[in-house]
């Protein structure tokens, strides 16, 4: 099956399964979305949502986190992985937003990626889910599935993003990256499908017999 046919089949199935999609990280505004994405590194969305549920009731602006200071931020997010590093990033980026952007989250990749603790993937999520700008954030689920489905060689996350952007229409990127994440969590799991059992894998590669070992992000 050629890539054009795969792309068509993948979109048809994903649209059937997930006609409407919601942002998995709960947030109050664009700033709290940025914070939640930063917290989600090496941590499940479920855990992040559980921790931030009470935080965002009271603290939801950069000024709030600057006033809290690093140590108090650490206490608030203590149950999240590498919380000290994340607390430092949250404090420093909040300080930068207050001092440089009047407390507002900037709307360009360049400005977002210059913030403490913010990489390209985090910036892409904020641009896509926060501002509605066409972007294709690639997390570990998407990187793995892109390889399993024969859409990329998996040499790097950057290459995966480039390949997927080239294959799928730009107007679908924002919805599609979330659909793929949900599908990966529900059907094409890292330690269950191995490229052999889910509907998309069996459709794209009906003759595949051996488990596919993907390259890590």
SS3 content of the chain, % helix, strand, coil (to 5): 60, 0, 40
Identified catalytic residue from 26, 61, 72, 139: 139
Residue 204, pLDDT score: 92
The fold of 3-21+136-204 is Endonuclease Iii, domain 2 (1.10.1670)
Known active-site residue 121? yes
Mean pLDDT by 10 residues, the chain (217 residues): 90 96 96 97 93 97 98 96 96 98 97 96 97 94 94 92 97 96 95 95 94 87
Q: What is the pTM of this model?
A: 0.93
- The pLDDT value given to residue 83: 96
Q: Identify the CATH class of 30-130.
A: mainly alpha
Q: Compute the Cα dihedral for 209, 210, 211, 215 and give only its sign.
A: negative
Identify the burial level of 118 via C-beta atoms within 10 angstroms of its C-beta, where 0-12 means exposed, 13-18 middle and 19 or more buried.
buried
Q: Hey, where are the domains in the chain? A: 3-21+136-204, 30-130
Please pick, among 6, 86, 121, 163, the residue that the annotation labels catalytic. Answer: 121
pLDDT, position 34: 98
């Amino acid at each position: 099956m050629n890539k054009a046919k795969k792309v068509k089949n993948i979109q048809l199935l994903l649209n059937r399964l997930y006609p409407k999609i919601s942002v998995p990280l709960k947030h109050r505004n664009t700033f709290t979305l940025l914070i939640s994405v930063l917290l989600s590194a090496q941590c499940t969305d479920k855990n992040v949502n559980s921790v931030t549920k009470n935080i965002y009731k009271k603290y939801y602006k950069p000024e709030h986190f600057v006033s809290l200071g690093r140590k108090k931020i650490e206490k608030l997010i203590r149950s999240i992985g590498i919380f000290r590093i994340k607390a430092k990033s949250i404090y420093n980026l909040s300080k930068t937003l207050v001092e440089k952007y009047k407390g507002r989250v900037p709307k360009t990749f360049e400005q977002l990626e210059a913030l403490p603790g913010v990489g390209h993937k985090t910036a892409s999520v904020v641009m896509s889910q926060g501002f509605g700008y066409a972007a294709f954030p690639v997390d570990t689920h998407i990187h793995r599935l892109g390889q399993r489905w024969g859409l990329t060689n998996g040499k790097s996350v950057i290459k995966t993003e480039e390949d997927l952007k080239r294959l799928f229409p730009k107007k679908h990127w924002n919805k599609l990256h979330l659909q793929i994440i949900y599908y990966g969590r529900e059907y094409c799991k890292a330690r269950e499908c191995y490229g052999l059992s889910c509907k998309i894998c069996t459709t794209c590669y009906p003759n595949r017999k051996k488990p596919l070992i993907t390259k890590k992000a």
